[in-house]
Amino acid sequence: MQVKWCGLVDYPSTYQAMQDFTAARVDDTPDELWLCEHPPVYTQGLAGQAGHVLAPGDIPVIATNRGGQVTYHGPGQVVAYPLIDLRRAGYFVKEYVYRLEEAVIRSLAHYGVTGLRVRSAPGIYVRRDDPYAHHRPEPAAPGEDPFRGLAKIAALGIKVSRHCTYHGVALNVAMDLEPYSRINPCGHAGLETVDLSTIGVITPWNEAAQVLGQKLDALLAP
């Protein structure tokens, strides 16, 4: 997989470039991984509901064709866009999502942080009270808040066209988190969002991007 360091790039042109790359693919087109960050922007997935965008203010809201609901991108966040031919890789969408999440979990483990999954809520979460704890919190009982005691540190949204993926995963490193208060993140009212710096991990963006890129490169291999 060819890794491309894109730096700080605007979202609309990157979105268009992903679509163009995917539409132009042929059977032997090499897979790519784009690593970047975006100026402040809200993106709506296909399941997005307008009511989850509370007060965007001067931050643009862009409709996309990825799965999921509204999320925020901004400086200090590592955004990874794997452009993978799943048929050639030999695994299906469910396994692809698992591998994306596992790459984030292993990236967090690099910093001693325990990343957690929540059933039916794609993305990765950490314990608010002790993000370094190695034991999982007790699962929520039926009817209880599945996010009790958790905060989201990475969001995931993908699109698959002709067996090929685009969009991807975003890991919060050192951001201004205030814009998350203007939406219901991923459609969940009151869901807390954190970044590595909030939980005490101080790392340069380039280092976090390199760690995530390496984990994705290894885990998305055929």
Task: Give the tokens for residue 109.
Answer: 């483990």
Q: What share of the chain is helix, strand, coil (3-state, %, to 5)?
A: 30, 30, 45
Q: Which residues contact 144 (CB under 8 A, 6 or more apart)?
A: none
* Catalytic option among 6, 36, 164, 186: 186
How far is 133 from 94, CA to CA, in rounded Å?
Answer: 27
Cβ(64)–Cβ(15) below 8 Å: yes
Task: Give the tokens for residue 213.
Answer: 């890129």
CB atoms near residue 32 (< 10 Å): 16
36 is catalytic: no
Query: Distance of CA 7 to CAs 114, 118, 166, Å?
Result: 27, 30, 18
Q: Which residue in the block uniquely carries the two structure tokens 């991984």? A: 33
**Residue (of 65, 60, 69) closest to 42 by Cα position:** 60
Task: Give the tokens for residue 62.
Answer: 């862009």
Q: Which residues are catalytic?
A: 186
